[in-house]
Amino acid sequence: MKVSRNKLRLKKKKRINFKIRGTSEKPRFSIFKSLTNLTAQIVDDEKGKTLVFFDLKKAKAKNNIEGAKILGKLVAKKCLEKGINQIVFDRSGYKYHGKIKSLAEGSREGGLKF
């Protein structure tokens, strides 16, 4: 019986989350991708709080590579306003290419350090 891609991704995500933790100094940059939307949030795992949240609908961008780059720049801008300049990148089990790569590059261009 074939296992779905999403179940495999969730297994990877669980394995990754044992290693990656966000702190107050270096919060976790978490991503979720669906067919219609892309969300990015900055999470402090010690306190269990989301510090910054953006998605494509809030950013008024399209669901493509350019839209992901715009989203990354907006997240970086909001983080710098809150005094966050270093983060831990959590790709949530997705491959590092396409929209995920573009989102990361956009946030780096915005001033965040991974």
What is the total count of domains within the chain? Answer: 1
Residue 102 is predicted with a pLDDT of 94
pTM: 0.83
Angle at 31 between CA 28 and CA 33, to 5 degrees: 170
Give yes or no for a contact between 106 and 114, defined as CB atoms under 8 angstroms apart. no
Residue 109 is predicted with a pLDDT of 93
- State the number of CA atoms in the 13 A half-sphere of 102 facing the CB: 13
**Domain limits for position 70:** 19-110
The CATH number given to whatever domain includes residue 87 is 3.30.420.100
Answer whether residue 88 is part of any domain.
yes
Answer whether residue 55 is part of any domain.
yes
Residue 80 phi/psi, 5° resolution?
-65, -35
Answer whether residue 43 is part of any domain.
yes
pLDDT, averaged in runs of 10, over the chain (114 residues): 87 80 83 92 89 89 92 93 90 89 93 89
